[in-house]
Amino acid sequence: MKPAREYSDAMYLSVMKNWVNLFMYGCPYHGQRGALRLAQDYGRGLADFPEEDAENEIKGSYSLLCVRAYHLRPPIDAKEWIGEIRKAIKEMS
């Protein structure tokens, strides 16, 4: 397994262990702003991996980290999610 994939899986497990942050009002990853923050945080971590590996993870991250984590009711769409990830990666480089 590639390290970028391991990072994505670890991020998912971390989010799920702290799922209350996704659903309780006022928590850091709640709602639309929170989902954008989650995408940014995820992107900052992906910035440490080779570009090709990071790009492969970006493609599947919406379904893994946003759709699944928010129980099939993601507060943002895939375009917003991917845009925030790429923006965070760019800021880190």
- Whole domain around residue 49: which residue ranges? 30-93
**Number of domains, the chain:** 1
Three-state helix/strand/coil letters over the chain: CCHHHHHHHHHHHHHHHCCHHHHCCCCCCCHHHHHHHHHHHHHHHHCCCCHHHHHHHHHHHHHHHHHCCCCCCCCCCHHHHHHHHHHHHHHHC
Does residue 24 belong to any structural domain of this protein? no
Does residue 25 belong to any structural domain of this protein? no
pLDDT in tens, the chain (93 residues): 789 999 999 999 999 999 888 899 999 999 999 999 999 999 999 999 999 999 999 989 999 999 999 999 999 999 999 999 999 999 998
- The pTM is what? 0.94
